[in-house]
Structure 1
Amino acid sequence: MKQFIMATFFVATAALAFGQEKARKSPKVTTEANGIKVVYGQPSKNGREIFGKLEQYGKVWRTGANEATEITFSKDVNFGGKPVKAGTYTLFSIPDPKTWTVILNSKLGQWGAYDYDKVKDQNVVEVKVNRQALSTPVEKLTFTLPGNAVVFEWDDTKISVPVK
């Protein structure tokens, strides 16, 4: 009986450790400036072809890794030309070779974009922005908040959504 309990404990501990390691290959990062905060899982390129392959064109992406990316506005803003109330939203995007759709959704606590079809009726705004090609690839997905935009870059792509 003692051996059974020890074996069960070992298996449970190993499974828990493996699950946590697997879930956190991409570190959780917070970027905050100008009354905006972005919390996202930061994946790395690791030699992979990202857009059009790993993240397929025309399909919703969590715009990060692990949990879906969340963005918080401390005051009402104009996001890509559309009014958005102060608060926290899930940020999704739909990659495209030329024009991306960036989405703010009111359903928080989502893992990835797996349930997006069930919650897309909770979209607050959808904005289209032009993809900018980068001449030098960016290894890790990176969000910046230069004051008048929410910008993210990864691989050969830069996306900028104006914020006022």
Structure 2
Amino acid sequence: MCATKRRSSAPSSRARRSVRRSYDGSSTINPREVTSMLVNTRFATALLVGSLALASAPAAAQEVEEVHPGKGGSPHEAHTWTVGDATIKITYGRPNLKGRDLDELVSESAPDGPVWRTGADEATTLDVSQGLKIGDLSVPAGTYTLYTLPGESDWQLVVSKQTGQWGTEYDEGQDLGRSPMTKETLSEPVEQLTFKVDETDAGGTLAIEWGTTRVSAPFTVGQ
């Protein structure tokens, strides 16, 4: 009599990994595969969110032009930013810290008073194609000189109508006005004096960084 081959009712290991059969004949997905799918989906979602955040981060377009090499290793550069329909150009000498103390350098640069030229050699100039409102200060389109008034907790940005002078020449009577600047401490020191313009939803932020000090003031385009 021939032996009858009996088929095992148990599913193969491959079948157990992918699909389980319930008693009513319906299919159920393996829980391990569900967990793996969820993990992969969450990871892909996190990558997409991160990419969108980086893509949407506002950044003002900038152009840099060397004006002249300067004296004592402080090159003069013209930095131009575009914020909305406005063009903002700041021309200044960029000294290096070289291990020195920022407060001492400010004192040396302003021996006759607290106002600092915020640069090297010639006065730092600001050219704006459209009117700006820096804090509460309205700055019409035109050319100006920038100074700062350093303080222990906060600084002030000084906008002067006088132009073309040497950096240490300051006439308070020529002030267009002043605007407060918020002072922060940077985690990493900045070796070379740097002006920055960052674009925001409301307009932009004008910032100055040197050493571990950062001071900034918000602005809007149009007065």
Q: What is the CA–CA distance in structure 2 between the aligned matches of 1:91 and 1:40, rounded to whole Å? A: 9
Q: What is the CA–CA distance in structure 1 between the aligned matches of 2:143 and 2:101, rounded to whole Å? A: 31
- CA 1:141 to 1:21, structure 2 compared with 1: closer, same or farther past 3 Å? closer
User: Deviation at 1:21?
Assistant: 8.4
Is the contact made by 1:149 and 1:163 (CA closer than 8 Å) also made in structure 2?
Answer: yes
Q: Deviations over 1:10-56 (max 9, x none)?
A: xxxxxxxxxx98835300011111210000000000010112x1213
Runs of 4+ in 1 over 4 A off after TM superposition: none
Corresponding residue number in structure 1 for 2:192: 140
Q: Do structure 1's residue 75 and structure 2's residue 130 form an aligned pair?
A: yes
Unaligned 5+ runs, structure 1:
1-19
Q: What is the CA–CA distance in structure 2 between the aligned matches of 1:163 and 1:27, rounded to whole Å? A: 27
Aligned length: 141
Larger radius of gyration between Structure 1 and Structure 2: 2
2:97 to 30, 45, 49: 45
Secondary structure (helix, strand or coil) at the match of 1:163 reads strand
Unaligned 5+ runs, structure 2:
1-67
Q: What is the CA–CA distance in structure 1 between the aligned matches of 2:91 and 2:119, rounded to whole Å? A: 9
CA RMSD in angstroms, aligned pairs only: 1.9
Secondary structure (helix, strand or coil) at the match of 2:101 reads coil
Corresponding residue number in structure 1 for 2:218: 162
2:77 to 17, 21, 29: 29
Q: Do structure 1's residue 150 and structure 2's residue 206 form an aligned pair?
A: yes
Q: Summarize the alignment of residues 80-159 of structure 1 with structure 2, pairs less than 5 Å apart.
A: 80-113=135-168, 115-116=169-170, 119-147=171-199, 148-159=204-215
Identity level (%): 35
Secondary structure (helix, strand or coil) at the match of 2:77 reads strand
Is the contact made by 1:137 and 1:155 (CA closer than 8 Å) also made in structure 2?
Answer: yes
Secondary structure (helix, strand or coil) at the match of 1:145 reads strand
Query: Normalized against structure 1, the TM-score is what?
Result: 0.80
Q: Deviations over 1:55-76 (max 9, x none)?
A: 1397111111111100111101
Aligned residue type for 2:125 = E
